[in-house]
A and B are shown apart, each in its own frame.
Chain A
Amino acid sequence: MSKDIRIRKGLNINLVGAAEKATSKAVLSNVYAINLDDFHGVTPKMIVKQGAEVKAGEALFFDKNNEAMMFVSPVSGELIEINRGARRRILSIKILADKTQTGFEHGSFDTANATSQEIKAHLLKSGCWPFVKQRPYDIIANPDANPKAIFISGYTTAPLAADSDYILQGKEKELQAAITAMGKLTPGKVHVSVNTKSNSPLAGLKGIEVHKITGPHPAGLVGTQINKIDPINKGEVVWTVSPQDLVIIGELLLTGKFNAERIIALVGSSIKSPQYYSTKMGTEISTFLYGNGVNDDNFRVINGDVLTGSKSRPDGYLGFYNNTVTAIPEGDDYELFGWNKPVFNKISTTRAMTFSWLNSKKKYDLNTNTNGEHRAFVVTGQYEQVFPLDIFPMQLLKACMVKDLDEMEQLGLYEVAPEDFSLTEFVCISKQPHQKIIREGLDLLYKEIG
């Protein structure tokens, strides 16, 4: 049974540099790294010491708040560096990979006959649990909670992001295994959303409720789908998993091995011929970045898509959750009368001497310039045009800024994640940092209410 959802509010940002549907094997990286910024709210406690040998899938550290939650190494090799920042906080962990890889054996698992407790324990100790995220608060799921539903978005609408249909090809077996396990973790449903026109391998799986969804970005964001399918109420918890992570979970359940391999899209206008690469999480980005050459030296590497990714560098490392790496030009230059001359080469939701409304199909080469300075909120009604959730975006942002906990809660902060505000941030005339405001609001609410 499937239900159709049509999103009307939103904006598709068409950028130059979409990946061609061809996959090459990336050069093997010597060093792999785990960046602790990927795990918001986790306080790591190391298990292995510097200089120790680990196998692929062997635990490196756990979360102090939940000691059962293990984080594992993507490759086998020697732990060469634990990079610490202020107050000895761990920033990243580097592993020098062995020439021949050996995998850690997590043991075979009978998903069909396992209880939810057994599944949780297995995922926790094998390093697969961090793939499961929860709302409210947009953090790694608390395994003790009982989620009312699990949401999986198989539809990508974020600019230039890796196409789920393409990267999931041929992974039906793994996906089904993971979905079966997910189904046991919730008394509710496992909601899977796919595009109406797609032939996603997700749609044919058993034990799910399929939703056909169409519309512009952010139709593909799981937050939009939750709000339209079964919105979160106060006190409720839902879990979300991204489909490419389901593949890893599925493979673990089937084979007992944590396989860090994934297909990523290298995109952006600074890349000469953007395409897909198969590589491993934690790999050095330069192992595939220069594969087909770059157009210019002054570019920014983004771990993720242009709206929600994090700033990285060519010698940075692929993030834990990422399936997209974007390279776009830096916009660190002045523009003469940039504020009043007609604009043809940038995207705008207004028509104030900006002409992107003339041709919605045109692809743009946008850089990282803010196109203006930070200001107080002035214009109204602009966010609502690109924000399909039944929430007042500006009022919620203001509630977060003034730290009004009651108002934050009443206006629905527990329904959203920072990424839901990526599009309002893009169109914001006042150049306010929406995602940061929401993140800080969520952290505050978590700290005060839990």
Chain B
Amino acid sequence: MSDKRLTFKKRLHILKHHYRDKKMAPAFNAFHTFLFAPDETTHSGSHIRGADDLKRTMNTVIMALIPVLLFSMFNAGYQHYAAIGGFPSDFSVMEHFLTWDNFWIGIIKVLPLVAISYGVGLVVEFIFAVIKGHEVEEGYLVTGMLVPLIVPIDTPLWMLAVSVVFGVVIGKEVFGGTGMNILNPALTIRAFLFFAYPTWMSGDKVWVHEAVERAGTADAISGETILGYLAQNKGAEFTYSISDMFFGFIPGSVGETSTFLILLGGLFLVFSKIASWRIMLSAIIGSLLMGLIFNVVVDAGIIGETSTFYGLMSFEYWQHLLVGGLAFGIVYMATDPVTGSQTNRGKWIYGFLIGFISVMIRVFNPAYPEGVFLAILLMNVFAPTIDHYVLRGNIKKRLKRLKSATILPKDSDSKAEELKAETV
């Protein structure tokens, strides 16, 4: 086996040298390094290096997303058929959920979203890498997977393609590419979709496959999300149990529904030390606190049942984490190291405010009862400010130390003895 591989490896090596200093070198190298970790050795500084590189880091996040993706493919079919035929009364996962019919809907609806997201995004990345003559960086590997998971199932593919181009170019490349962007590219894409095509992104029809097409006909089906019900003060109308919410058998954006799998993904990312547990934990605390404040306000009778906000404000505080995109956003989006806070103390503040503001926007936004992506984008903008103040703290400490320091004489002989006695 080694013989063939050697020649293949050698051939690629020769090709790499052939492409060196040519325009297409970044494109070639992107594929080459995908196959083979490069033969580069250290030149300056440490002669040995750790095992991790950016590809491995990004790959770990993708691994944490795979279960969510698979679940979402089944759920796409499940929600579709349940909306047509009603939810099965004797629900069993094997019989009603993990079926080929459900998965087929996933294949024809979810996979194209993934393909378009990766295809279009990577083409843009490659073009920019070739033009600017830098290597293709791996940032889009995760973005490309996140995007299909945070859009409604029936999002037209051309819409997605347009948004991806916008998100990658305006959200990332104009700032200098991976590592330099201010806003999370996946959320920039989501925000573009939301503001450019609002009718496709909200309402009670977009969350279930075919709900839009069937609207107004005899076969009309509803695709209302739990948050949608609550926002209209129709909390009593939905029949989802807590376990449905937790395991994700509910309508919503493609991949956001299963809090259980997101939790597993989050634990995996924390265990592998890829994502910041500080951000995740503080965001959970922030959202619980905001939810609790709303609950207290309702319990105190300040908000009556007739209020527009009653439905969402009276929603049990911890259940906010089970519905909508909050859990998904906290685990996979808020923890983006480039756009998040970069200092450990800053991460606590950053995460807390994401959770806090997410629930606040969710409750007070009558047009669209979800606020995670807006909250994260908002905090992306504030993250450098948070870091700035954390750094000022460190700088102040250093200045304070300077003030209390003893000033030494120029010559060590004259006052040496005397100073020694003082400092002891």
Contacts and interface: CB of A to CB of B under 8 A. Distances in A.
Contact of B412 (A187, A350, A412, A418): A187
B48 A426 contact: yes
Nearest to B343: A392
Contacts of B416: 116, 184, 186-187
B37 A372 contact: yes
Interface string A298-322: 0010100011110100000000000
Contacts of B53: 339, 371-373, 375, 429, 431
Contacts of B48: 13, 15, 159, 306-307, 328, 366-368, 426
Interface string A114-141: 0111000000000000000000000000
Contacts of B410: 146
B162 interface: no
Interface in A304-359: 306-309, 311, 326, 328, 330-340, 343, 346-354, 356
Given A233-B401, A373-B135, A433-B44, A148 B52 contact: no
Nearest to A368: B41
B297 to A, nearest CB: 36
Contact of A302 (B47, B394, B406): B47
B177 interface: yes
B37 to A, nearest CB: 2
Interface stretch (B108-116, B145-153, B334-342): B334-342
A233 B402 contact: yes
B405 to A, nearest CB: 5
A349 B408 contact: no
B411 interface: yes
Interface stretch (B237-245, B253-261, B266-274, B313-321): B266-274
Contact of A233 (B33, B49, B272, B405): B405
A418 B38 contact: no
Contact of A307 (B9, B47, B54, B55): B47
Interface centre among A146, A334, A382, A422 (most CB of B within 10 A): A334
A435 interface: yes
A331 B43 CA distance: 12
Interface string A258-302: 000000000000000000000000000000000000000000101
B398 interface: yes
Contacts of A189: 423
Chain B interface extent, by class: 35 or more
A377 B179 contact: yes
A49 interface: no
A231 B55 CA distance: 38
Chain A interface, DSSP helix/strand/loop, else mixed:
loop
A192 to B, nearest CB: 16
Nearest to A430: B54
A249 interface: no
Contact of B408 (A146, A302, A343): A146
B60 interface: yes
B412 A146 contact: yes
Interface residues of A, number: 91
Contacts of A117: 413
Interface in B22-72: 33-57, 59-60
Contact of A427 (B50, B342, B409, B420): B50
B419 interface: yes
The 3 closest A-B pairs by CB, nearest first: A372-B53, A338-B37, A376-B179
23 contacts: A115-B413, A188-B419, A311-B47, A328-B47, A334-B36, A334-B39, A340-B55, A352-B52, A352-B273, A353-B59, A354-B51, A366-B48, A368-B48, A370-B38, A371-B49, A378-B54, A378-B57, A381-B278, A390-B394, A395-B342, A428-B49, A428-B50, A436-B44
Interface of B: 5, 9, 12-13, 33-57, 59-60, 135, 137-139, 176-180, 271-274, 276, 278, 337-338, 340, 342-344, 347, 387, 391, 394-395, 397-398, 401-402, 405-406, 408-413, 415-416, 419-420, 423
Interface of A: 13, 15, 115-117, 146, 148, 159, 184-189, 231, 233-236, 300, 302, 306-309, 311, 326, 328, 330-340, 343, 346-354, 356, 366-382, 384, 390-392, 394-395, 410-412, 418, 421-423, 425-431, 433-436
Given A378-B338, A411-B391, A435-B45, 18 more contacts: A146-B410, A159-B48, A231-B401, A332-B39, A332-B41, A339-B37, A347-B51, A351-B273, A369-B39, A371-B51, A379-B274, A380-B343, A384-B344, A390-B394, A392-B394, A412-B394, A433-B44, A436-B44
